[in-house]
Structure 1
């Protein structure tokens, strides 16, 4: 009776191991956020000091963006902390979606920094001013690039390893900050040649660059909110199921991200002469192979349909609902 009851419920696989893996992913994410927060805050503080005595609006835009990038660690840290909570009867899939909400906050912060940097650049175009301490301004630009590029590589690498779209979006944000920091060198060079208008023009170019990363980050988060996955993952899942002994055909395959873990719901077709226990064994085997061979998959629900030569429709009762 126990075995038959288990056959009618979603199959589980090494739940303790999967919980440990999820906690480890969140811990890695928190570690990345803490280290990158320190690096970017230090970089932005150095730049802020130079902005104060140089008056460079291009460097001001870069500094503001670095501060904004450092602050995006806050919603992500909250999301990773929430994601460690166990599922409840209300939140039956857990709290992994908090990362998607954090992604929305990150996109909003990027948009706000772009708007402010653009405003300051336009204001300086209308009322040009000389930039002082050009050597320090150039040095601040280089420091901004090095700090941001290091953080970007770190965030993107770990974000992809743990499957966090929000962390990858934050890494892309930092990468653009690095290239905009290099643009500050153009501002300092133009001012040194006697072109004070170069500073606000570079400020506007920085704003445009921020808008491009805004587009990429928004697309990344939009895909997660709409349960989009890489079609190659669906193809891979179908191949794994097709090669599973006992599986005659593969029906629908649905995948979705919950935080930085994948969940799957799949339909397979098995021989109609199999007993309930035998069909259950095929379903368990299919789930086992999916979890082991599909990256970032934490759980799968496998539904087995009987296949036969009599042409019987085993879903007649559900036809009207489909």
Structure 2
């Protein structure tokens, strides 16, 4: 996560780069990392055992729906393995050039899970269309029996993952894999019943297409959320303009710029900003007030604020909009600025 350099202080001892509370007490969400690993490992064991059985039956029954479920369950198993590895990596302490540690390994895992869902959906969609045009024979009773067992297995696996911390995008990625597979088995069971009762073998391919739609939806959601974190967008539901305006409206604050809000990893939002205080204002008091505002109103506890006294500018002028007025607080300002009064965003 480049670009997170601590800005230097200003003149006269007023420049301060202060950090908020970094304990992240609100990030545990009541579920320990050890418990997460235990629940994921149990779900992995259930899925791996069933994959072997389902693949053999899919080949014997000639069912694409069952084979698609087996392939999807294989991606489920891979997604859980990735999640477990990512948990191990993210738990390592920060060292060397990795000043945030490997916390984003979990986001990489979620991104990979989203990508595998999309790729698997595209392949299954192609196979389903091909079988709609030239449907093979399908042994309906085998499909129904296996699908019913699969529903039970996936219900158990889904329950296991629901016990883990789903506010983690990493765990949510694995959960979405399992949940979509549960829907796939339900569709497969219905398709098998249709084949047994009516002999309409295309029902198998139609069920596969329904599963494909669910996989694409879940995969896109994971790619979108992980992509936002990689691009360091503000967390969903948190408006940086509103945050900046609230900071600028605080007592003794004249301007806020270089405001950035991003997510380090799931459940760990962070903020940094350069705040200018009116000449003669108490920088330390302003800093404490702003930290309290950010924590109470927005739940932001990992904050870095540089507090400086503003230069004496002409009436109505502002540090980033007036050339040659007062000391240069930022040689190369970046991001929007906010001040105490009407201003564009």
TM-score (norm 1): 0.77
Equivalent-residue separation in structure 2 for 1:5 and 1:66 (angstroms): 63
Q: Aligned to 2:192, what secondary structure does the other structure show?
A: helix
Q: Aligned to 2:302, what secondary structure does the other structure show?
A: strand
Whether the 8 Å contact between 1:26 and 1:81 is mirrored in structure 2 is no
The Cα shift of 1:58 comes to 0.6
Q: Aligned to 2:92, what secondary structure does the other structure show?
A: coil
The Cα shift of 1:219 comes to 1.5
Aligned residue pairs: how many? 309
The equivalent residue for 2:239 is 234
The equivalent residue for 1:33 is 40
Which residue of the other structure, out of 121, 127, 136, is the alignment partner of 1:128?
136
Alignment of 1:184 with 2:179, yes or no, is: no
Deviations 1:121-164 (A, max 9, x none): 35544351131534414413533553465356446xx232xxx3
Matches within 5 A, 1:291-306: 291=295, 294-295=298-299, 297=300, 299-306=302-309
Equivalent-residue separation in structure 1 for 2:94 and 2:16 (angstroms): 17
The Cα shift of 1:85 comes to 2.0
Which residue of the other structure, out of 139, 142, 162, is the alignment partner of 2:148?
139
The equivalent residue for 1:316 is 328
Q: State which drifts further: 234-243 or 301-310.
A: 234-243
Equivalent-residue separation in structure 2 for 1:75 and 1:187 (angstroms): 32
- The runs of 5 or more residues in structure 2 that have no matched partner are 1-10, 320-324, 335-345
Q: State which drifts further: 222-231 or 68-77.
A: 222-231
Alignment of 1:84 with 2:91, yes or no, is: yes
Equivalent-residue separation in structure 2 for 1:43 and 1:10 (angstroms): 55
The equivalent residue for 1:254 is 260
Q: Aligned-residue CA RMSD in angstroms?
A: 3.7
- The runs of 5 or more residues in structure 1 that have no matched partner are none
The equivalent residue for 2:8 is none
The equivalent residue for 1:219 is 224
Equivalent-residue separation in structure 2 for 1:6 and 1:269 (angstroms): 14
Equivalent-residue separation in structure 2 for 1:205 and 1:79 (angstroms): 31
Q: 1:83 to 1:41 in 2, by over 3 A?
A: same
- Higher helix residue share: 1
Q: Aligned to 2:166, what secondary structure does the other structure show?
A: helix
Q: State which drifts further: 200-209 or 69-78.
A: 200-209
Q: 1:252 to 1:39 in 2, by over 3 A?
A: farther
The equivalent residue for 1:265 is 272
